[in-house]
């Protein structure tokens, strides 16, 4: 049993973004979106029920979209479903190299994708009908500049591999075996010959993709590489005047700081691309457990968070349990909270524990119940 004692006082210490953006945060963002249309990129790997951190990040994206829409922008939230990732049971070791089958190939994604769609639609309704499109990771490779960007990365694969995967020194570029779906997770055994990339399957040998001819949607990107490819493509869109929209991205703050400074911005610079047009990144506050670590889907898959179940707090890691406990009112409380972070930006540049939210829900839900009882009693008295 975990007991957390506190004085009930909220503290928003100065520092970083809190010191700079005491107010006017949305107007600052607006100044860096010169085009009439805006696309907000947000994503998740849907191999389990939407957990609390994912819902918060999505909610912040929709709240931001609503505010930009009110300021005159035409906004679309692009919700990316990373269907090329894999979970532990579908990862295999052959001669010391990790191979995997994606959640799209195994069908794991189909077990929970409807929950994501339900949450997204509720956000859309709450924030006044913001346009959104659900896309898969493979849609990145449909971009007009994708072949050029992939060639550029491959031409500098030694430097980029060292940057993104320093212990392995591979690009993290892969493609699934057309016969069994296995992929070399980090592309360690890939062979590069001009526009032709050959991928190795331990069961069926080599298979190839020609960048100049084949469907690049077959390509898969390990997380740091995907982050770089996406950033490069969005940068190309932002600087191209004939493209009617500007990009910005919303992601969890566990990807802030060193991660972006080194793996994105340094990578862009190493490829001799001007980072001035790279997309703004808005970081969603982390939801942390009792240790201060972020609430994690992967730890859930490994069998963690039993203490949450024992205390009736497993709604943080299971959307269905969240619905059962709080109903639609729970999501409304959460959506209002994330919207407040954009209005009072000192609330945005920090993290929040699960206990903060648990007490928030208790207070807000009880407040609603008490108000309903008051109104009911008042009606009885009038009768």
Confidence at residue 205, expressed as pLDDT on a 0 to 100 scale: 96
- Tell me, which fold does domain 26-85+104-137+223-382 have in CATH? Rossmann fold (3.40.50)
Long-range contacts of 269-273 (CB under 8 A, 24+ apart): 270/156, 270/159, 270/160, 270/163, 271/152, 271/153, 271/156, 271/160, 271/232, 273/232, 273/235
Q: What is the mean pLDDT of residues 278-296?
A: 90
Confidence at residue 369, expressed as pLDDT on a 0 to 100 scale: 42
Q: Can you give the pTM of this predicted structure?
A: 0.91
Displacement of CA 6 from its chain's centroid (Å): 32
- Cα-based distances in Å from 3 to 6, 310, 372: 10, 13, 31
Q: Which two tokens stand for residue 196?
A: 């032709």
Task: Assign 303 a pLDDT band (cuts: 50, 70, 90).
Answer: low
Confidence at residue 32, expressed as pLDDT on a 0 to 100 scale: 93
* DSSP output for 113-147: HHHHHHHHHHHHHHTT--EEEEEEGGGGGGSTTHH
User: Does the pLDDT at position 18 exceed 80?
Assistant: no
User: Does the pLDDT at position 262 exceed 60?
Assistant: yes
Top-confidence residue, 1 or 286: 286
Task: Assign 300 a pLDDT band (cuts: 50, 70, 90).
Answer: low
User: Does the pLDDT at position 333 exceed 50?
Assistant: yes
Q: What is the mean pLDDT of residues 96-115?
A: 95
Displacement of CA 99 from its chain's centroid (Å): 24
Q: Domain spans of the chain?
A: 26-85+104-137+223-382
């Amino acid at each position: 049993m975990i007991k957390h004692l506190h004085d009930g006082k909220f503290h928003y210490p100065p520092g970083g973004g809190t010191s700079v953006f005491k107010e006017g945060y949305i107007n600052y963002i607006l100044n860096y979106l010169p085009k009439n249309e805006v696309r907000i990129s947000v994503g998740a790997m849907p191999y389990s029920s939407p957990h609390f951190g994912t819902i918060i990040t999505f909610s912040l994206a929709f709240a931001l979209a609503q505010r930009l829409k009110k300021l005159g922008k035409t906004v679309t939230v692009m919700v990316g479903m990373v269907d090329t990732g894999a979970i532990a049971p579908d990862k295999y070791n052959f001669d010391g190299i990790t191979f995997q089958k994606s959640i799209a190939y195994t069908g794991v994604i189909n077990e929970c994708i409807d929950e994501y769609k339900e949450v997204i639609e509720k956000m859309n309704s709450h924030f006044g009908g913001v346009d959104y499109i659900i896309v898969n990771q493979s849609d990145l490779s449909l971009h007009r500049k994708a072949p050029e960007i992939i060639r550029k990365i491959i031409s500098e694969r030694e430097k980029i591999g060292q940057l993104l995967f320093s212990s392995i020194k591979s690009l993290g570029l892969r493609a699934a075996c057309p016969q069994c779906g296995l992929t070399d997770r980090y592309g360690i055994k890939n062979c590069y010959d001009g526009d032709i990339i050959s991928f190795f399957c331990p069961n069926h040998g080599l298979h190839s993709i020609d960048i100049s001819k084949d469907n690049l949607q077959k390509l898969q990107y390990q997380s740091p590489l995907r982050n770089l490819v996406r950033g490069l493509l969005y940068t190309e869109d932002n600087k191209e005047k004939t493209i009617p929209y500007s990009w910005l991205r919303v992601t969890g703050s566990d990807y802030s700081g060193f991660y972006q400074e080194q793996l994105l911005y340094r990578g862009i610079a190493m490829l001799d691309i001007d980072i001035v047009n790279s997309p703004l990144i808005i970081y969603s506050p982390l939801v942390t457990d009792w240790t201060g670590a972020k609430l994690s889907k992967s730890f859930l898959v490994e069998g963690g968070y039993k203490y949450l179940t024992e205390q009736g707090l497993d709604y943080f890691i299971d959307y269905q349990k969240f619905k059962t406990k709080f109903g639609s009112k729970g999501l409304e409380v959460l959506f209002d909270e994330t919207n407040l972070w954009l209005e009072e930006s000192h609330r945005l540049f920090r993290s929040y524990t699960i206990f903060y939210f648990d007490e928030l829900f208790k207070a807000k839900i009880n407040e609603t119940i008490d108000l309903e009882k008051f109104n009911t009693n008042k009606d009885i008295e009038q009768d």
